[in-house]
A and B are shown apart, each in its own frame.
Chain A
Amino acid sequence: MAGSQGDERAWVRGAQRGSVSDLESLFRHHWPRAYRAAYLVVHDAAAAEDIAQEAFLSAVRSLDRFDRRRPFGPWLHRIVVNRAIDWSRARTLRREAGESGLESAAAAPAPDNPHARTLAAALAELSPEHRAVIVLRHLLEYTPGEIAELTGLPRGTVNSRLRRGLDHLAARLGEGLR
């Protein structure tokens, strides 16, 4: 689905007016990137589904008040990434508290593509905060300035996390990453 900004505004407007098909277009257009972003931060398919789904439910709850002058994607991605970071931190705390195993039961298989599998594994070694900026930059294609706005981080922090994250991935994957 191509989904230009004009399409997106039309879908939001239609969904605000009660069109299920426009809401579905909006959902189908944004679901893959929302789910992938969540998955690449949390590395747990069930959690990624919950996080992305809850972000869309939040969008439905706020639909009437949503300002059509604003792009829908960044708003959704901000919710997804922040919740994914929260979830990852909470999981870390549970592990520290000895409550492991809660998340592993629902884990889905790794990606089929070997390169994707390696990349996902290398990403998993980063902290959730580093993963998040890598995902925002290289999956969702935001600029560092936009990432700073989305995450509330200073621009310099975004740049340093990107640099460190990419250095780590380059070392693990053995290829030149920029």
Chain B
Amino acid sequence: MTRWREPAPGEQEAGDRSWDVVRRAYEERLPAPRARDRRLLIALVVGAAIVAAAFSPPGLAFWGSIRDAVSSEDHLLALPARGRVLVNAQGGAWVVNHDGSKRFLSGYADAAWSPHGLYLAAAHENELVALEPNGKVHWKLARKGLVGGAQWSYEGYRIAYLSGHALRVVNGDGTGDRLITPNAVGSGLPALAWRPGTHELLYTNGRGQLVLLDVDRSRILWRRPSHGTEDIAWSGDGRRLLVADARPRMLDAGGRLVAEFGSSSVLPAAFVPRSHAIAVVKVAKGHSSVIVYSGPRYRRHRAVFSGAGLFGGVAWSPDGRWLLVDWRAADQWLFIRSAAVRRIAVRNIGNTFDSGPEHYATLGGWCCP
């Protein structure tokens, strides 16, 4: 049989229509272009200001409005709950403290909190680096090829990470690096997650299967098929597992089905601390909605917030009372009080983390009181 080379009926027109939809979705996820537009705006308003200053006494007042218009002001003055927020941004990682102070860790990518927030594991080219949030490096490990995707086990004694196509595990003190599988990179997104309270690592293998491995005993506990895995996440007690693939669903620790979420994407998503309830993002007709699912079979659900465009991430405060939504399309972070309708909107997030049009700042977690 020869390869099918004929266009399918309606292919071209459908492609044109779909490109419009895809382009709009893509542009909505982009922060508004800042640098170039701001330069243009500055040029225009400075010109106008010179004229105003030259010809009228209210020129000084006009300067005030200019300052507002071109501000790159940081509006993230404090977090509404204890803990620290990690942000992976252009050129490095940011650690945002409870009082709003921010530390930039230049050159690090793909940073992840240790379980108690005392350390970070981050990628620096072909090195895996363990460092304190103040930037003090404790150890680093060079591997062949790019590293990334580091995840700490629940007590910090193990770190799983990707090195090229391989999945490896190293002890929390940088010793005992070993290969888990040479080909953990299939055709989807990287997905690995330690089961809390154990040294059991869940990952997708090169054949697209979910594998739960007892790392210390080198014993596979179960395998399940998974098609197009985008992310996986354990509840805090390790008894519920979100599998975000072509059929998003909740499993128990034995890999048995608990609930399905329908066929659409549920990402980003985050379990409520100390609970099996979970906040997921669903997208329909250009709008994203954060929905909290709860109950034994996840039949109870409550929409918490909806907005135009895409949401880049969600993270619960460590006390579980606030939900942070990265509303990328609006260049805002929203802090939503989970028990009552109360919101704090923080704008200008792109400038705050220097993300610019080159790279979007992504949430790396809100950790540890």
Give A contacts to B, CB under 8 Å: 15-18, 20, 23-24, 27-28, 31-32, 35-36, 39-40, 45, 48-49, 52-53, 56-58, 60-67, 69-71, 74-75, 78-79, 82-83, 86, 108-111, 113, 116, 119, 134-135, 138-139, 141, 148-152, 166, 169, 177-178
Cα distance A83–B9 in the bound complex, in angstroms: 19
Name B's interface SS.
loop
Cα distance A26–B168 in the bound complex, in angstroms: 31
Q: How many residues of B contact A (CB 8 A)?
A: 57
The interface bits of chain B over 189-232 (1 if a CB of A lies within 8 angstroms of the residue's CB, else 0) are 11000000000000000111100000000000000011110110
Cα distance A119–B4 in the bound complex, in angstroms: 9
> Using Cβ atoms and an 8 Å threshold, which residues of chain B touch A82?
227-228, 246-247
Contact A56 B22 (CB under 8 A): yes
Taking the closest CB of chain A, its distance from the CB of B223, in whole angstroms, is 10
In-complex Cβ contact of B22 among A27, A86, A150, A169 (8 A) = A27
Taking the closest CB of chain A, its distance from the CB of B368, in whole angstroms, is 23
Q: Which residue on A lies nearest to B30, using beta carbons?
A: A18
Contact flag A17-B14 (CB < 8 Å), given A78-B188, A139-B4: no
Cα distance A28–B19 in the bound complex, in angstroms: 8
Taking the closest CB of chain B, its distance from the CB of A130, in whole angstroms, is 13
Contact B189 A60 (CB under 8 A): no
Taking the closest CB of chain A, its distance from the CB of B87, in whole angstroms, is 13
The interface bits of chain B over 12-38 (1 if a CB of A lies within 8 angstroms of the residue's CB, else 0) are 001101110111011101100000000
Taking the closest CB of chain A, its distance from the CB of B351, in whole angstroms, is 15
Cα distance A59–B84 in the bound complex, in angstroms: 30
Give B contacts to A, CB under 8 Å: 1-4, 6-11, 14-15, 17-19, 21-23, 25-27, 29-30, 146, 148, 162, 164-165, 185-190, 206-209, 225-228, 230-231, 246-247, 263, 265, 267, 283, 310, 312, 357-360, 362
Contact A45 B357 (CB under 8 A): no
Cα distance A52–B13 in the bound complex, in angstroms: 13
In-complex Cβ contact of A78 among B2, B11, B227, B231 (8 A) = B227
Contact A83 B246 (CB under 8 A): yes
Q: Which residue on B lies nearest to A77, using beta carbons?
A: B187
Contact A75 B188 (CB under 8 A): yes
> Using Cβ atoms and an 8 Å threshold, which residues of chain A touch B187?
70-71, 74-75, 78, 149-150
Contact A23 B9 (CB under 8 A): no
> Using Cβ atoms and an 8 Å threshold, which residues of chain B touch A23?
22-23, 26
Contact A67 B4 (CB under 8 A): no
Cα distance A141–B5 in the bound complex, in angstroms: 12
Contact B7 A53 (CB under 8 A): no
In-complex Cβ contact of A24 among B4, B23, B246, B267 (8 A) = B23
Given A53-B18, A74-B187, 15 more pairs with CB closer than 8 A: A18-B30, A18-B357, A27-B19, A31-B11, A49-B10, A56-B18, A57-B21, A63-B26, A67-B148, A67-B185, A70-B188, A149-B207, A152-B207, A152-B225, A177-B1
